[in-house]
Chains A and B, each alone.
Chain A
Amino acid sequence: MNSAPLYFKTMTDIQIRKNADAIEEQLDHFLDPVLSFRRSALGPAQQIATLSASEQYLCLHWIEIITSINAEFAYQYAAYFSTAVKELKHDQEALKSWTIDAMSAYDERGLQLAIKVLQQSQEYAEHYFNKQDGIVLEDIQKLLTAFVCGLNGRSLKIAAADTSYTDTDSIFLPSLISDYSTKKENFFYYKLLTVYQWSQNWFGSWRYELNEPLNDYHDPVKALRLFHCLESIRLLYKIRAELPGFFRQATPYLNDFRTLENDPKWHSICKILADKKASVDHTFSLLNQYYTLLEPIIFSFQGELLANKVALVKQHRISEEKHRFREALAQIVDEKKQAEEKASTDEHNTVEKTEAVFELKPLFAEDEEESNEVLFFELSLDGQPIVPPDDVYSLMSSIIQDIGEIPEDYLVAAGPGQYVTEQADTQSKKSDNAWSGVYHEEGAFFYDEWDYTRQHYKKNWCVVREMRVTPIYDDFVQDTVTKNIGIVKALRRNFEALKGEDRLLKRQVNGDDIDIDAVVESYAELSMGLEFSERVFTKMQREERNIAVMFMVDMSGSTQGWINQAERESLVLLCESLEMLGDRYAIYGFSGTTRKRCEIYHIKHLDEDYNDKVKARISGVSAKDYTRMGFAIRHLSYLLEEVDARTKLLITLSDGKPEDYDGQYRGEYGIEDTRQALFEVRQKGIHPYCITIDKEAGDYLPYMYGAANYVLIEDINKLPLKVSDIYRKLTT
């Protein structure tokens, strides 16, 4: 099988400008299924003929690819291409990006919307060229998220929206900023928006529900605008005090603010809001005072105040955090009790069971007396100050951010009853239930997939979930061991030999013990007038096996029957041998139907014991759906990446090549994606290896894994023995 990607094949063509006839001929060939007596390729061909050789080449190249997806789409592409070339100013990068955009639209939303992208090349061009000096949120999302996380307070997520606002859980920002002429300025503007929205959260703009007080005004919209303006002024003063460096950098963006500060009408307002102690209460009272007197200014960066969104998020969070906080207190009580009981067993007296009393004492800032700003609260239990764990600490700070204090009724430890309800609640959120009922992506992992036809990744393409294998408690494991006792014994011997042992190194310059032989020799040499050798020590050298192995087991439908049986038996034999070796190993199954249902089945975690539960899960491994492989490799290597081990192996047990229900994953596409995923794996320092029973594996496995990294097994009984070979190779 020739697996070289299409991309390489076409690169070798020579680029000569073609005339309309030649182009029409090629288009006829590509677009045949959608051409008819009334619809010919002549029109598009004539237009394409006017383009440069490289543009023609690009066009035909993409048409060939698109045809394989959808011929109608390809025809439309041909028809709109020449216009797009002009709109996009003959910029080939722009053309490529426009093409990929249209293809993604096709993938995600279908033909009609893809054609719309093709038609709107003018809008696309505008957007594209703006982006050249603009900043795209996606590119700096991680940076901004870390940035706000570093600033004080609850860590806020960053997400894209049409305007900038916050719901007190996330900060929403436009997906592109290109208002300024340089990237630097556009980036700073993002930072300005972010800091401003953060300040609403940190300096208590949302302490109270906003709709109610504003609805008391004759014109609530007007009241909202003035409130927004006053509150922004207050926040700018806070930012100036808290982040002086930032405020200085922001100077060029704050002209409105400066004008306003110098305006006598606003003078007394600014004075009040600039005060260290100014809170949102001051803003409300100024609003009341000046409602009829002042026309608000709208700051360019202020975005919107969306009280309804905040209310929704806040309500949910407040009740959840109260619950979590009380539970954390219960845990603190528990721990204390346990410690006391432990201590009291020596003295044979029992601890009195009294109600635990929690108290909070506000801690004030030390140095400046005029400020009564509460820095934090000290938590005490039965009169003793305690240091809450980090997560409780941030919980407290989040609660204080929302309501300004920790109310009395929070300070009662949760009773045992509440534990139960909580658990029941989280259980129902578990991923096994995710498919039943309404489809939602909560709790899922997302992985990119490699599309070789376009040589780029489809973002967050696969929706991956960890599922549980239904355990079957039977004698499968025991029976397998009994049946294969010969193999098991041989394996144990093999693995025993691999086990790292301390080696005694002789004739060392220094060491733990004297190498008597060497000393005797040296003395002899010395008496002969030779130089006394200093290499007279022995040293123990530890050869620590620091290996983590991940087994990825094919649970696709094609394994139904004896293959599944063999796979399960192999797992048993592997576990028995690996237990002997003491290496850490994990087992996961994989299967799925389409990119939206990629499933990873947990059988054994890396640090889980090989216990009855694991055995029952192995027995419960069953054939499921299809063999989409890229996501499984990506997910498991993600898990493996987190592990601290010197050698990491990802071993796949499979019966065939990648394939999925939607047909697209079959053949080259699936092979290329799998190959790409394996490439990513190697970059993470993980060794991939494949064990297969597909007799045709020689056609594609060497291409994906490399010739030395797979093995074809005709007799499944040899499988565990082969694995010990791999071990020897990789670990010695």
Chain B
Amino acid sequence: MDLLAQEILPEEYFITDEPYFEPVGDEIAIFTAAYKNKLPILLKGPTGCGKTRFMEYMAWSLKRPLITVSCHDDLTASDLVGRYLITNGETVWVDGPLAKSVRAGAICYLDEVVEARKDTTVVIHPLADDRRVLPMEKRGLVLEATDDFCLAMSYNPGYQSVLKDLKQSTRQRFVALEFDYPNFATEQKILEKEAGIEQELAKNLVKFAQMTRNLKGSGLDEGASTRLLVHAALLIKEGIHPVAACKGAIAQALTDDPEMLSAVNELSASLF
């Protein structure tokens, strides 16, 4: 394993340049207040609506390192806490990202936490209530979090099947911040700033996004996210025709159904 070779020190997770984040509501104030009071935070919301960007912004604004873990269905408690590895014939303990965050007083962001295996709650729960400790079972010790440490996780209520719902005992430990696609004016502004495009174009892209969002549940599982709009905007800025850009960056990302694809393409052709 080249796990060791990839190791980055928590100091290097500091974000030094202010990330661009356009506040949609009072999320910054709430996050800051929760952080001050050592409360863990749950970000709810659809894909590509700015959760990751928000975390980057908060890490920058609170001047803490940000350690992100993308959860998947094979992610175990040991992946978070740490494990023994063998180096040069010796067994050595290597901290997982959660332990690393606790030690460094970092912000640990567990992305799509419901995907992780059930046993991860064992390590998340004691960290997420007022004990603020990380049990390291294999080493027989308990790591106490400093005041700087912050646990945050994201969760998309729409995607998972009923089986994968977040447990009450987990969700009730967190302060929840609900994210959604920004309103028209804000989303337009995000596109102008993030992709550097003209106001008129940004407006039409947002209009198109709303058309696809109207189709949510009527042929599409999900409408276009802000992220997809940024992608399309970047393509258009490179000289790609808007209809082709929407087709490539948005329509194809949303569906494989040929009829829905044509419908979505007809919609963008109506606008541009």
Contact = CB atoms under 8 A, between A and B. Distances in A.
Contact of A147 (B91, B184, B263): B263
A345 B117 CA distance: 35
Interface stretch (B127-135, B139-147, B264-272): B264-272
Given A155-B214, A514-B91, A143 B267 contact: no
B215 A246 contact: no
A529 interface: no
Interface in A505-536: 509-514, 519, 523, 526, 532, 534, 536
Interface string A237-269: 000000111100100000000000000000000
Interface in B55-102: 76, 78, 83-86, 89, 91
A146 B91 CA distance: 60
A246 B264 contact: no
Contacts of A144: 263
A519 B91 contact: yes
B262 A143 contact: yes
A415 interface: no
Contact of A245 (B185, B210, B264, B271): B271
B272 A146 contact: no
Interface string B34-60: 000000000000000000000000000
A155 B263 CA distance: 14
Given A245-B269, A514-B91, A152 B214 contact: yes
A144 B214 CA distance: 14
Contacts of B162: 607
A512 B271 contact: no
Contacts of B272: 244-245
B101 to A, nearest CB: 20
- Most A Cβ at <10 Å: residue of B138, B184, B219, B263: B263
B1 A509 contact: yes
B263 A536 contact: no
B228 to A, nearest CB: 15
Nearest to A544: B73
B169 interface: no
A295 B260 CA distance: 42
B168 interface: no
A146 B260 contact: yes
Contact of B117 (A511, A523, A542, A644): A542
Contacts of B166: none
A195 interface: yes
A146 B219 contact: yes
Contacts of A221: none
Nearest to A139: B259
Contacts, number: 86
Nearest to B117: A542
Contact of A146 (B86, B163, B218): B218
Contacts of A243: 270-271
A409 interface: no
Given A146-B259, A510-B83, A644-B161, A526 B267 contact: no
B214 A143 contact: no
A88 to B, nearest CB: 30
Given A513-B138, A542-B117, A150 B214 contact: yes
Nearest to A645: B161
A508 B76 CA distance: 16
A532 B89 contact: yes
Nearest to A152: B214
Nearest to A584: B163
Contacts of B161: 644
Contacts of B78: 512
Interface in B236-272: 243, 259-260, 262-264, 266-272
B259 A150 contact: no
Contacts of B214: 149-152, 155
Contact of A143 (B3, B76, B184, B259): B259
A276 interface: no
A143 B265 CA distance: 10
B250 to A, nearest CB: 12
B2 to A, nearest CB: 11
A536 B259 contact: no
Nearest to B3: A510
B266 A143 contact: yes
B211 interface: yes
B212 interface: yes
A353 B200 CA distance: 50
Interface string A357-394: 00000000011000000010000000000000000000
Nearest to B260: A146
Nearest to A244: B271
A511 B1 CA distance: 11
B68 to A, nearest CB: 21
A647 to B, nearest CB: 15
A147 B259 CA distance: 10
A153 to B, nearest CB: 8
Given A150-B212, A155-B218, A367 B1 contact: no
Interface in B1-35: 1, 3
Contacts of B270: 151, 195, 243, 245-246, 249
A512 B266 contact: no
Given A155-B218, A246-B270, A510 B85 contact: yes
18 contacts: A142-B259, A142-B263, A143-B266, A144-B263, A145-B218, A146-B260, A147-B266, A149-B214, A149-B219, A150-B212, A151-B214, A152-B214, A155-B214, A244-B272, A512-B76, A513-B84, A519-B91, A532-B89
Sorted from nearest, which 9 A-B pairs have the closest CB atoms? Answer: A146-B263, A246-B270, A150-B211, A243-B270, A512-B78, A150-B267, A644-B161, A245-B272, A147-B263
Interface of B: 1, 3, 76, 78, 83-86, 89, 91, 117, 138, 161-163, 184-185, 210-212, 214-215, 218-219, 243, 259-260, 262-264, 266-272
Given A144-B263, A244-B271, 9 more contacts: A143-B259, A150-B267, A151-B211, A151-B214, A151-B270, A245-B268, A245-B271, A246-B271, A534-B1
